[in-house]
Amino acid sequence: MTLKQTVCLFLCIYTTPILATETQADDLFTLSFEDLLEVHVDIASKTLETLASAPSTITVFNRKKIALLGVNNAFELMNFVPGMQSTRGDWVGAVPKDHARGVYLDSGNILVMINGERLNESSFGKASVYMPFIPVEVIDKVEFIRGPGSALYGSNAFLGVMNIITKSQDSELSVAVGNVGQASTAFSLSHQVNEQTHLFANGAYNSKSGERYPQGVKDPLQSIYLEAGLDIEKLAVRGRYNQVELNDFLNLGGYSEDNQHKSENAFISLSYDWLATDTSMFSSKVAYTQHQIQSAGLIAPVESLPQASYDSFIGPAWQTSDLTINLDASHEFDNGWLFNSGLEYSHAKQQQADVRTNYYDANSGAIIAADPFYQGGIVTIKEYAPFQQLQSTFETRSVYGQVKVPYSEQFSLFLGARFDDVKDIDSNLSPRIAAIYKPALAHTLKLQYGESFRTPVTNELYSNDDVTLGNPNLKSEYVKTTELVWRYEHQDWHINSVLFYNQLNEFINLVPLTADNTQFTFANQLDDTNRGLELDSMLRLNGDFSLEATYTQYFDTPMQPTFKRFASIIANYQYEQWLLSVNGVWRDEVNVQATPNTLSFKQPAYLLLGTVLSWQFSTSSQLSFKAHNVLNKHYNVFDPRMADGAVAGVGSEYSVHYQVKF
């Protein structure tokens, strides 16, 4: 931490309380065990349910839990969700990669949403390619569906759904500084103009210079997030913009200080509640999103290029858009039955498909790594012929319906299905059923079955470059999931156990085209079965100390090398105005045997420790110290595109945060 950063932080600490008005103490220091158990969610059924009554397996992080974990990026919350993990990987800009129920592929098998609006788009399909960093400072709550969600949300809601709900009722300011050049600031504003009109806004800026790795690179970050909303009676307008840069480090299999990755997203929506009574609801929404990416990764070092004097780089300069129109309705009948239905139209288009490279022959329109074609640096080549087929359109029409049947106070049944027709590509029916039974006040049993799918994206269908070759004959991949859930709730303790059985069909996988694994295509080549056990529990020993833990065990070998067992633990202790939280993420070993074309990979089991120490020194202000990987554990994550299979994990990071409410 530099002297300049330290001085700025303490000036904020001692001057901002003077401007702050009196407010209630931060609820971080009034932890309620009952609140955590009875938190309401609607991600699973679009009806207001508790964790026990929801027809899916749900994990929820409210702002209390997020603050105690000390994470900076919303994707890092996956490490504390049973059945999920998030690590850094190769491909485009070393963005976060998802591990979900034994599946470790880079194709967007988890649907990510912000306030119910999907981030997964039509070119890469994976939300984190275009939005790899979502700052936790603007988040109010994050809801996870563990398992299929296509019956409500369509494609990509395959092995899970992550819905990020941002703040809309807060006025606060925060600043932070830390090692490896960390610096951030964030704000939330809320203003009730009158009884009919409400305004809110969120913003965050995060940056770091990053640590130095043995490969001679750092892992810097630059991120901007802006959001605003306006509510006028039944009308709601939302807008959002974010920009992220992940240069340097790793991109397309190569470490280089000249790697580039920049993504931008702009979103706007307009919704209106035509009908809203105690028993009926009818609403409409129109939303438009535009995604842009400019990326370039090292694909060949100069040592392997006999006719060139510089390394060779290549990457996408792509732009996609999504226009979505939704109609949603619900009605509760006199007998307690609740019916939900909806229509959706989506028009997704890849509008730009240019290439970024530092070698290009304008006469032949080809990328030739030789000195006569050097461009003086990485430039964008417009109308690059091999990419033109990527400029395609996905037109989807969807309809869904669901009924909740409360047979008695002890037994409820959910029946639902969604039909998605993707023009000229595929059609899919995604049914689901959930039976929920409470044999006693503290016990809940659930039997859940659902089917989900993921439509192939333009990169898989039509890519044509030095790294991937598309396959236009791809079909949607799909999964059938059965879950048996037992949940026990006590005044000071709860435990949730899930046995799941996945039947995976037509999975799209990367298939090497060359012996050295430098070029790939895609194929529906994987059918597999994945079974496992997920456990999570929370225990309050007294009014000051609580303990949470998760554990995941797969019974079958994952379809790609990933963790077969992993766990997390969170311990919280409160003393007057001080709060200490210690967390740990444990992952089992990963062993990959050598093949004629690849080296072996071995990463022993490891534990990553983190901690948060918070002090609330006034009713409106608090100071926190956060640390990730406090023991500076050096570890690697397996990625099949790397020559040695290894992507370096993040080392020790610590920071000091100040927050004030006004």
Tell which residue, 521, 548, 553, has the closest CA to residue 534: 553
Average pLDDT, stretch 295-308?
Answer: 95
Provide CATH code, domain 3-222+238-252+263-661.
2.40.170.20
User: What DSSP letter does each residue of 131-193 carry, written as one string?
Assistant: ----BGGGEEEEEEEES--HHHH-TT-SSEEEEEEE-SS--EEEEEEESTT-EEEEEEEEEE-
How far apart are alpha carbons 608 and 629 in whole angstroms? 5
Q: What percent of the chain has pLDDT over 70?
A: 92
Q: What percent of the chain has pLDDT over 90?
A: 73
How far apart are alpha carbons 78 and 90 in whole angstroms? 18
User: Which ranges in 463-610 belong to alpha helices (H)?
Assistant: none
pLDDT of 52 reads 81
Segment 549-567, tens digit of pLDDT: 999 999 999 888 899 999 9
For the chain, helix (H) and strand (E) counts, in that order, are 6, 39
Q: Is the pLDDT of residue 162 over 80?
A: yes
Q: Is the pLDDT of residue 27 over 70?
A: no
User: Which ranges in 278-434 belong to alpha helices (H)?
Assistant: none
Segment 167-196, tens digit of pLDDT: 999 999 999 999 999 999 999 999 999 999
Give the list of residues 6+ apart from residue 441 with CB closer than 8 angstroms, or none. none
Ranges of each domain in the chain: 3-222+238-252+263-661
Helix (H) or strand (E) holding 495: strand 493-512
**Where does residue 78 rank: exposed (0-12), middle (13-18), buried (19+ CB within 10 A)?**
buried
3-state percent breakdown (helix, strand, coil) of the chain, nearest 5: 10, 55, 35
How far apart are alpha carbons 616 and 618 in whole angstroms? 6
pLDDT of 115 reads 94
Segment 344-364, tens digit of pLDDT: 999 999 999 999 999 999 999
Phi and psi of 138, rounded to 5°?
Answer: -100, 5
Segment 457-479, tens digit of pLDDT: 998 899 887 778 889 999 999 99
**DSSP secondary structure code for residue 251 in this structure:** E
Query: And the tokens for 352?
Result: 């730009």
pLDDT of 217 reads 96
Residue 421 φ/ψ region, left for φ over 0, alpha for ψ in the -120 to 50 degree band, beta for the rest: beta
pLDDT of 640 reads 81
**Where does residue 600 rank: exposed (0-12), middle (13-18), buried (19+ CB within 10 A)?**
exposed
Q: Is the pLDDT of residue 44 over 70?
A: no
User: Which ranges in 201-337 belong to alpha helices (H)?
Assistant: none
The pTM of the whole model exceeds 0.95: no
